Structure 1
Amino acid sequence: MNEYLKEIHIGSFIKQAVYEKNIDAVRICNFLDCSPDELVEMYESDEISTKKLLRWSKLLEYDFFRLYTYHLLLYTPKMTVAKRGQKTRSQLPQLRKNYYSIEIINFMVEMIEKKEMTIPEILERYNIAKTTLYRWINKSNKPT
């Protein structure tokens, strides 16, 4: 999982989900209102319109947008103090960047446990707060 979200080839993820769900191409084409050739193009494409991706997410019951969210969480630098001081009013919804899913948390803890990365490497690479990472580690070590 370490590098597979660095470059997202959305068509490959969609194709894998279709394979796992064993959905017939005719059903997909009817649902997406596309031809078989357009379906193959989507499988081969590394990008897709948000409208189509939303349809795929509904059809396959999988949130493909979360792949991009995880990419942002893992590969976007933390906001610096200087940038925080320059806040401007926006009409856009303010989403929290520091929201980590259980999958991301487990991924980080697992990398440490398997000695694939050290704590300092994770802190530097993914820009996670030191206290946050240690809290995840402590929670994972508690008996359930």
Structure 2
Amino acid sequence: METLNFKSIHIGKIIKERIGDSDVNLQKVCSHFGYSVNEIKEIYKMESIDTKELLRWSKLLRYDFFRFYSQHLILYSPPEKIVADHVKKGQDLLKFRKNIYTIEVIEFILDLIKTETKTKMQIMEEYKIPKTTLYKWISKYSK
């Protein structure tokens, strides 16, 4: 799969790409869902789909499509300071940020550095990744 932008997820494109990468043919997909080829092609154009249907896609293609949304939450959830400010003000704001970095997140971050989309300093500030963690990733995963 090509490098994904976890900020804007287009699940239809991801499904189309996964079908292309798998050994599942379009006719099997059509019979599994009871859709025509044109209906499947319309799904490819959809930015989002119902979670129940996404679960069916995940099972058919043996791939966790929900991971893209989990990665989005890890990368783009509110920083600690914003959460603390909301708590002080008595506002209800769920804290989604977790200190869990999957290989997909690490690859995404390293790709930002490699393509010079963001500097190391920008990544540390925007994603709240500690300097030592970022440099460990660079030394461990950069080729």
**Pair in the same fold by TM > 0.5:** yes
Which residue matches 1:53? 54
Gaps (5+ residues) in structure 1? none
TM-score (norm 2): 0.74
In the TM superposition, 1:39-50 aligns within 5 A as: 39-50=40-51
Q: Using the alignment, how far apart are the partners of 1:46 and 1:6 within structure 2?
A: 13
Q: CA deviation at 1:54?
A: 0.6
| Cα contact 1:15–1:43 (8 A) shared by 2 | yes
Alignment-derived partner of residue 105 in structure 1: 106
**1:115 CA drift (Å):** 7.0
Shift of the 21–57 alpha-carbon distance from structure 1 to 2, 3 Å rule, reads same
Q: How large is the Cα RMSD of the aligned pairs? A: 3.0
Moved over 6 A (4+): none
**Which whole-Å CA distance do the structure 2 matches of 1:135 and 1:2 have between them?**
21
Given the two structures, how large is their TM-score scaled by the length of structure 1? Answer: 0.74
What is the 5 A alignment of 1:25-40?
Answer: 25-40=26-41
Structure 2 unmatched ranges of 5 or more: none
| Identical pairs, percent | 37
* Matching of residue 5 in structure 1 with residue 6 in structure 2: yes
Indicate the residue corresponding to 2:133 in structure 1: 135
Q: Distance in 1 between matches of 2:115 and 2:41?
A: 39
Query: Does the residue aligned with 1:52 lie in a helix, a strand or coil?
Result: helix
Shift of 1:111: 4.0
Instruction: Tell me whether 63-72 or 103-112 shows the greater mean CA deviation.
Output: 103-112
Whether the aligned pair in 2 keeps the contact of 1:11 and 1:43 (CA below 8 Å) is yes
